[in-house]
A and B are shown apart, each in its own frame.
Chain A
Amino acid sequence: EDKVVQSPLSLVVHEGDTVTLNCSYEVTNFRSLLWYKQEKKAPTFLFMLTSSGIEKKSGRLSSILDKKELFSILNITATQTGDSAVYLCAVPAGNMLTFGGGTRLMVKP
């Protein structure tokens, strides 16, 4: 059965800290891994990763994929209160996306 597991479940940090969120997966015929950020409402797309070892970067957020060890990490440097959200990763399984349970990040001032 296809599986996507995120850790930790939740995290509380202070502004300026660096955080690392983890996503491990077991899927047949891996094609890509996607990261989303969900604040109060709809998830918004962050990154799609298809190749091992190539970092994707957007401002203070970056992500990398390890296809050998079957995981991805999402790094956020110099965190701000606006980074508080649930971070979701998802992997295509068959013809749909399977989502992990999410990591809830709270950044305190």
Chain B
Amino acid sequence: DAGITQSPRHKVTETGTPVTLRCHQTENHRYMYWYRQDPGHGLRLIHYSYGVKDTDKGEVSDGYSVSRSKTEDFLLTLESATSSQTSVYFCAISEMGSGGTDTQYFGPGTRLTVL
């Protein structure tokens, strides 16, 4: 898993509550990503970070915010969870592979259910 851990691994919450998911990496990678995975949609990028305090939006960023105060931690926050945010969330890091290609490695995922 390229030294990536996610916490919690499972969470059930209620509509309207705030939720924070944590991604932790041990190998000092510059780039970190948050994706959501839903049936029929594959994986879709929510936000990514290219350094401490440097973040940008992805394809499906509405309703989500992120923070990166340390190289090793990338937090995803749902300010007010909705049922449409029920999904499996994956963190990924980017590592330069052979030929100068960035290869993304994924964490084990967090299954979030919003009731």
Decide whether A and B are members of one complex: no
